[in-house]
Copies of this chain bind each other. A is one copy, B any other.
C-alpha cells in the first residue's frame, strides 16, 4: 500500500488515520463511514465510528477526500478524489467510476461564461448498466 498521499500538515499521523486512508485507497467506489468501519474490522482493526467520522471530515476539509451522496441512498459516501465521478445503474445500483472525466474539458468554458475560477467538480450519471439491459 504505497500511499502516494501527502498527509496534511498540522495533524498527527495516527494508526487510525493511516488505516482509514488505506481503506479508501483500496475502495473501488465511494463508501460510507460504516463501510470503512466494517472493512477495518475485517482486518482486525477496531476503530470507533466517531473517530472514523471525525477523520473523514478532517480529510475532506484538507481536500484528500471527497464526500458525496449517491442517488437513492441516505448515508454520506467518501472516496479519494479520483473516484468522484461515476455512473450509477438505476436498476441495480452498481457504481462505475468514470476515468478521465470529459467534464474537465469544460473548465475554461465555464470560467468564461460564469466568471468562476473552477477548482473541481463531481458528476453523477444515471443510467442502466449492461447487465440490467439484458
Q: Chain A interface (Cβ within 8 Å of chain B)?
A: 67-69, 71, 76, 87, 89-90, 96, 98, 102-103, 106, 109-111, 114-130, 133
Q: In the bound complex, how far is the Cα of B89 from the Cα of A96, in angstroms? A: 28
Q: Which of B103, B114, B129 contacts A116 (CB 8 A)?
A: B129
> What are 10 of the A-B contact pairs (CB < 8 Å)?
A69-B69, A87-B110, A89-B116, A102-B106, A115-B129, A117-B133, A118-B126, A118-B127, A121-B126, A122-B123
Residues from chain B with a CB closer than 8 A to the CB of A103 are 102-103, 106, 123
Q: Which of B106, B125, B133 contacts A121 (CB 8 A)?
A: B125
- B129 with A110: CB separation less than 8 A: no
Q: From DSSP, what is the main secondary structure of chain A's interface residues?
A: strand
Q: Which of B102, B110, B128 contacts A117 (CB 8 A)?
A: B128
